[in-house]
Structure formats: C-alpha cells, structure tokens
Amino acid sequence: MEAVFKMGASRIASAVNAGELSAKEVVTAYLERIAELNGKLNAYLHVNSTGARRAASSVDDLVVRGEKLNLAGVPVAVKDVISVRGLPITCGSRVLRGYVAPYDATVVNRLKRAGAIVLGTTNTDEFAMGSSTENSAYGASRNPWAEDRVPGGSSGGSAVAVSGGMATAALGTDTGGSVRLPACFTGLFGLKPSYGALSRYGLVSYANSLEQVGVFARSVDDLALVYSAMLGADPKDGTTTNFSWSIRDALSRGVEGLRLGVVVEMSGEGIHEAVSSALSTTCKELERNGVSVGEASIKHMGYSLEAYYLIAMSEASSNLARFDGVRYGEHPAFEGDWNEEYSRVRSLFGLEVKRRIILGAFALSAGYQEMYYGRASRFRTLLIHEFREAFKQFDVLIAPTSPTPPFRFGEKTQDPLTMYLSDVDTVPVNLAGLPALNVPVGTFTTDGTTLPLGVQLIAPYGRDDLLFTVASQLERSGLSSARVVEPWGRIV
C-alpha cells in the first residue's frame, strides 16, 4: 500500500469506510510524520495528539457500525484563527496565549461530522496580517521547497502542513490572498470561495467584509471533497448563502467552449518571467482543449491595493479592540491602574498589528472617514461593476497569483509596503467577493533551487463550480499537479 501521508482524501476515506485501513492507523502515521518534520518546518503551533487519537477511534466505531462518512479518517490541519473546541487558539499572537477555543467553528464542526480528524492548529502571521508568516509571534514557518524561502502567508502553516505531507488537506483564511499566496508558494491547490459560501462563525475576524475560510489540498478532487463537506448556509452567520451547483458535476464537465480572459492589468509589467511563462503555458493548454482565450480588462484595478489596505485596517482596528486582556487569553491578577494594565496587554501585539490598528483607527476617525474609508468603499463598488462587465465576455479569468516566485526570509520585512505589494494580484478578488483558485503550474529553477509556480483562476460571484471544472481539466492534462515535498525540495 502507498504510504499513508501521500494518499489523497478520497482514497483515505474509501479505505477507512471499507475497513481496509483504520482511522487510528492513519492518525498514528501522521503523528509520526509531524514528530519527524514539524521541528524543521514549524507548520503546527499545536499538535492535537490525544484528541486526534480519540476522534479516530470514534470514526472507527462508526465505520464498524456500518456508517459511511465522506471524510472518514481524513486528517486535516486548521489555521490558528479558526476555533476547534478544546484546542488553544492564539491567532499567532502573544495576546491570546493560553486561550482555549470553547466551541467548534461551523466549518470545523461540519468536517468533524463528515469523519475528518483535526490533527492540530497551524501557524499564521499574527491575526492573519501578513504574506510570509514572518509576523507570527511563534516564529515563521519554513517552505519545504527551499530552506531560505518563505512559504507565503498568512496561512503559511496550513500550506506547509499539506505540502510537507503532515496533513491531507487544511483550512486557511483568505482576507486578501492568504490561501492563494501560500498555495502558490508551496505548489498546492488553494481555494478562496465566493464570499458567503462558507460560514465564518468561529473564525476570529480580521476584516469581516473581505475574508473567507479557504482550503488547501494536493488534488482538485480532495479540494472538492473537503469544500463540499463545509458548504451550505449557516444560521449562525447571516452572510452565508446556498449555491445551486454541484461540485461533482463541475468536475466531470468539459471545458470546451469556455471563454477565458487573461487580466491585462495583472499580467504585464512587474511580473517575473517564470510566472508569465506559467501563465501562457496554462492558457495554451486550455486552448488545446477547446477554450477560447482573450484579453480582459479591469480598468481601475490598479487602485485595489490601496483600497484593500484601508478597508482591512479599518475593520481590523475595530475587531481587535476586544483583545483587552479581560475577556480572552492570559490575564494575571489585575493590580493597580487600569490604564496601565490595558496598555500592558495591548503592548503584547506585534509591530504589524499595532501599525494596522493605529492606521485603521486614524482612517475611521471623525473628519477622515469619508476621505479614506468612504472613498475606498466607493472604489470597491466600481471594481465589482468592472468585474461584472468583464464576466459578460468571459466565463473565467486568469492571472498570476503572485508577481514573483517565493521570496527569501527577511527580504520584505524592513519595509511594510514591499510586503503589501506581494498581495497586488490577490486583493482585487476579495474586494469583489469573488471565488478564486490557485493552481500549481510547474516549477522554475534558480541558483540550483527549484521553486513552485502557480496561477489563479477567478470566476463570477457564486460560480465556484467553474473553478473546479477548469482546474480539473488542467490536472487531467497533466499540467497541474501537487506533490508532497520534504525539506529541502525533495519531491516524494
């Protein structure tokens, strides 16, 4: 039998359902693998050894009783901003050290009900603010492809867990690219669903109007399996909604006759040539399969980064006000002056988080609100409109996920603006609430180091199914594939 850590989700689930493999065996194999690799890669912040073993035996019991579970025994990792009952949730921050999630997020609850096993919680930039995991209070995660390269962020821990074979699939969150970017940097499929497709109940908010829970996987099938287990409106999150498509149909549909638009504003200047060539190879492959390819223009896209950071920081400054040391996390006996105590707790935030709280509070302050937040919001409406127009001509859009391959540790930490620029291609999608998917497309070698490349597919609002149709064609034709990678760069 194939090594358990290389198996896909559907393979594990069918073996467990058939009684050929027990969920306990799966969990044991994964815990060993985590023990072997996590010290090097820092993907997990907390490993749920006891809980995972216990959950595995209840799955095994259910199987013995004849139940069929879609995700029977499938081991998943969960980003440390999503609540898993009984596990620590720190959001990569010192502010929340010692805080234990009192309930399951809806997405986690649904995965568990389908038989999935939560192996642990994964590293993230503090409160999901960043693009490399370098803003985590618990050290950065490492990219298994190359020792000196970032895995992307903020959901870098989840990406590394899946890429390194320490989980079959993982949950991240994508507020401005935090699933697609790390998926691209570690060679995985990474989905940012339509806004409202998945419940945010139990997710610690960074910027609620922009973010969605997303999924990392090593195949389109696995992605579909995990995603569909979580879909469906949730009464606990009023922004969720139901869509009428079926992923199963989407996977079996052909791409012939689809119209693909290359977003010109995202694919010209400033794009690394390896990324450009991955983009054109992908277009050519789809053309060979009967897709027509043209140029799409989103005229004012160039203002997205500014608008995104204004909106994200404004929402963050408001959301993070609740971390005052009283309600969450460790708060040693309160003594003395309240102002001092409050400042002491708030000083536990890292530099980037403080920067965003201050800028967000400034942007929302009386007199400036209309000038900054108001304008950014109006731009957002314009952008949504421009995307809608483009989707009159095209069924799906395509663009780089990142302008460059994975960058080096420390390369962008000195100047926050250069770090923000790594999100230039991902944030427009969040502003418009659209679904998008990073597909891994080949590799590129520089100075003896091989690095993964990726491109993103973008679909109209509520048409996540189209992403699955196109991605599964790319996978079938062999252009797009994701493999387990061990440090540093050993493809297994």
Residue among 92 and 165 whose Cβ is closer to ligand GLN: 92
**Whole-number minimum distance, CB 208 to ligand GLN, in Å?**
12
**Whole-number minimum distance, CB 315 to ligand GLN, in Å?**
10
261 contacts ligand GLN (rule: CB under 6 A): no
- Considering only the stretches 60-68, 126-134, 220-228, 387-395, report the one whose residues sit in contact with ligand GLN under the rule CB under 6 A: 126-134
**Whole-number minimum distance, CB 206 to ligand GLN, in Å?**
6
**Whole-number minimum distance, CB 91 to ligand GLN, in Å?**
11
- Interface mask toward ligand GLN for 228-247; x: CB under 6 A: --------------------
Site for ligand GLN (CB under 6 A): which residue of 154, 194, 212, 282?
154
**Whole-number minimum distance, CB 418 to ligand GLN, in Å?**
12
Q: Tell me the residue nearest to ligand GLN as measured from the CB.
A: 178
- Considering only the stretches 167-175, 296-304, 454-462, 474-482, report the one whose residues sit in contact with ligand GLN under the rule CB under 6 A: 167-175
Directed axis angle between helix 351-364 and helix 304-319, to 10°?
100
314 contacts ligand GLN (rule: CB under 6 A): no
79 is catalytic: yes
Site for ligand GLN (CB under 6 A): which residue of 175, 186, 402, 456?
175
- Interface mask toward ligand GLN for 405-434; x: CB under 6 A: ------------------x-----------
Residue among 26 and 128 whose Cβ is closer to ligand GLN: 128
Q: Which of 83, 93, 141, 154 is catalytic?
A: 154
141 contacts ligand GLN (rule: CB under 6 A): no
**Whole-number minimum distance, CB 488 to ligand GLN, in Å?**
25
198 contacts ligand GLN (rule: CB under 6 A): no
Site for ligand GLN (CB under 6 A): which residue of 87, 250, 291, 312?
312
Q: Which of 22, 83, 132, 178 is catalytic?
A: 178
Site for ligand GLN (CB under 6 A): which residue of 178, 186, 199, 267?
178
Site for ligand GLN (CB under 6 A): which residue of 73, 120, 177, 489?
177
Rounded CA separation 23/9 (Å): 12
- Considering only the stretches 20-28, 98-106, 176-184, 473-481, report the one whose residues sit in contact with ligand GLN under the rule CB under 6 A: 176-184
Residue among 177 and 325 whose Cβ is closer to ligand GLN: 177
- Of 11, 437, 400, the C-alpha closest to 188 is 437
Q: Which residues bind ligand GLN (CB under 6 A)?
A: 128-131, 154, 173-178, 206, 312, 423
Task: Tell me which residues are annotated as active site.
Answer: 79, 154, 178
